[in-house]
Amino acid sequence: MNLRLIGIGAGVLVILSLPLAGAIAGPDIAGQDDGKGGGLLTSLGLSRSSPAPNAARPAAGPARPGPAEQPRTASRCGPELSAPQGLEAQTCVLESAGQTWGRSYYRNTSGRALDAVLTVMGPAGRTVQIRCAVGAGDEPGLCETPRGDSAGAPEDYSAVAEFAVPDDEGRLLLRSGSNSPGPGEG
């Protein structure tokens, strides 16, 4: 056999096995400690979090920033509703990092484009309203108001989305709210 071919094959095998070794080793291989003390670097005594006894510590270098932690988004949603004309929607009030906004998820299988108006109502008469074009098709979509600074408690806010036919004098097909009663409720 050709020694060059064997060397290339061995190199390819090593390169292809590195991701597998990383997966087996656990999160510590990427420099992230999972708190369980496992991982390839820890078992070899090379982890920064658990240096080997009497091992020289490397000089402190610049800190590598990790991904920014995303603030938690709280949501209060009404039930999923549907209209006989082929429209489904669910409307929510969302709150995160001191901001509140409304969002309506929808699916329009009616075969025609629709208009939607999403309104978020807050304490002290604060109201935000946005119009959204709802295309015809089976793909899900969403309509969302701009985010605004929160004033009051999350339960002080509600959202309503109204879906209507634009060329039929705005005939309402569906009204969906963040605090709408579900089917069979009040």
pLDDT of residue 2: 63
62-68 CB contacts, 8 Å cutoff, 24+ apart: 64/31, 66/32
pLDDT of residue 67: 74
pLDDT in tens, the chain (186 residues): 566 656 666 555 555 554 544 444 444 444 444 444 444 334 444 444 444 444 444 455 556 677 777 788 899 999 999 999 999 999 999 999 999 999 999 999 999 999 999 999 999 899 999 999 999 888 999 999 999 999 988 889 999 999 999 876 778 999 999 985 545 544
pLDDT of residue 69: 74
Q: Which two tokens stand for residue 87?
A: 């429209």
pLDDT of residue 26: 46
Contact 103, 66 (CB under 8 A): no
Dihedral of CA atoms 145, 149, 151, 153 in degrees, nearest 10, equals 70
pLDDT of residue 31: 44
pLDDT of residue 29: 41
pLDDT of residue 179: 83
Contact 131, 162 (CB under 8 A): no
3-state helix vs strand vs coil in the chain, percent to 5 = 20, 35, 45
pLDDT of residue 77: 96
pLDDT of residue 15: 56
Measured between alpha carbons, how far is 64 from 1 in angstroms, rounded to an integer? 47
The helix (H) or strand (E) run that includes residue 21 is: helix 3-25
Q: Letter for the amino acid at 47?
A: S
